[in-house]
Each structure stands twice: as C-alpha cells, then as structure tokens.
Amino acid sequence: MTRDGNWLDDPKAMRALAHPARLMILDRLGTQDSATATEVAEIAGITPSAASYHLRMLAKYGFVEDAPPRGDGRERLWQSVNVPIRVGVQPEDQPDVRDAKVSLMAAIRREANEQADLALSNVDRELPEWRDAARFSRHRIRIDAEEMVQLNDAIEKLIEPYFARHRSAEAAPSGARMAEAQINLFPTVARPVPGLPTEDHDAG
C-alpha cells in the first residue's frame, strides 16, 4: 500500500480514502481519542451503519484499526493508525495510479478548503488573541526544485512538535485548542489569457 514507508501507491486504497465521509472520519480519529461508529457518524453527518461500513473500508486498507475497549467493552472502538499519509504523483506512475492519486489529492484539497472557509466565516466571533494569531496568507516565491524540497522539509520539522497525533491535550498549554496548518508548495502554471472582451458591457 505504501512506498518509502508512508507514500501511498495502491490505487484501491487511494480510491477508498477519497471519500468526504471517510476523510472526515479519519480526521476525527487522527486528532481525538478513539470513537465508535455512532460517534464518528455524528461528525460526518451519516448513519451509524454507514459509518460502520466506512470504518471497515478504512481498516481494510490500513488507515484505522480496533482500539482498546472502554467500559464494559460492548461497543467496538476504532482508532487511527498513527502513520502520516503521503501522496504524490511520480513519473513512473501507471495511469490508474496517477488518476487515483490526483483524485485523492483533490478530495483532500476540497476538505482543506472547507475547513479554511469555516474558519474565515467564524473569524469575527473568535477571541481577539485567536483572531490575531490566525493567518490566511499567500506568497509568490522564486525557488528551484531542490530548494522547494528543502523548504517543505524545514516547514514540516518546524510544525511537527505541534502535531495533534504526537501532542496530547495534557502535554499542551492550558489554552491550547485544535488548529490547522495548511501548507501548499507547488510550481505555478500560467493561467489562460482570456483576451479583451468584444463588447464593453459595463459602458454606460
């Protein structure tokens, strides 16, 4: 399923993951404690039976696993497999592998955009310290491919101590809450030039 330890290259696994409900379930299990199908169903807005199906599919491809029981142990608990998911298109990829990778990356981007949109819509209701700490920035950089790899590695090392899967609520400061870091490094592609309009519809 993986290359170099964490890199996905199984098209079936990637297609299984490229589902909005499954991405939400995996995010819930990756950032909080273990949960039942009913608990993750509430997060994803689906029925418990649908959540059970999605959890079994995620388990089939090694993204989640059974968690230690709680209480009387009658409820089945699930937890995320504590391995980061990495996906990237490679020159040697077969067409079905490339298509699965692109679909998964697009699904992850849609989920990330939704999170950013939610944060933006709520920014005026945040406490001043959180409103001031949040950043929605975009920068054009001039860089070669090797430098981009180095920059990405440096950013990941910088934020790694704060990863929720490594830092428990007890280990974080008392005012800590869940936040999201979205990093996108990619070479820009020239946009199509639309040209001048044939009519000035705004005139007059």
The values of phi and psi at residue 3, to 5°, are: -125, 140
- Is residue 163 within 8 A of residue 172, CB to CB? The reply is no
Q: What is the pTM of this model?
A: 0.78
Give alpha helix (H) positions in 141-193: 145-159
Q: Name the burial class of residue 89, with classes exposed (0-12), middle (13-18) and buried (19+) by CB atoms within 10 angstroms of its CB.
A: exposed
Q: Which residues of the chain have pLDDT under 50?
A: 1-5
Q: How far is CA 11 from CA 46, 84, 131, 137, 199, in A?
A: 25, 17, 40, 33, 48
- Is residue 36 within 8 A of residue 64, CB to CB? The reply is no
The architecture CATH gives domain 2-162: Orthogonal Bundle (1.10)
Give me the pLDDT at residue 2, please: 34
Owner of token pair 């490594």:
166
Give me the pLDDT at residue 198, please: 79
Give me the pLDDT at residue 86, please: 84
What is the per-residue pLDDT across 151-167, written as a single tens digit (0 to 9) for each? 999 999 999 999 988 88
Q: Which of 191, 10, 197 is nearest to 99 (CA)?
A: 10
Owner of token pair 């098209």:
11
Give me the pLDDT at residue 204, please: 52
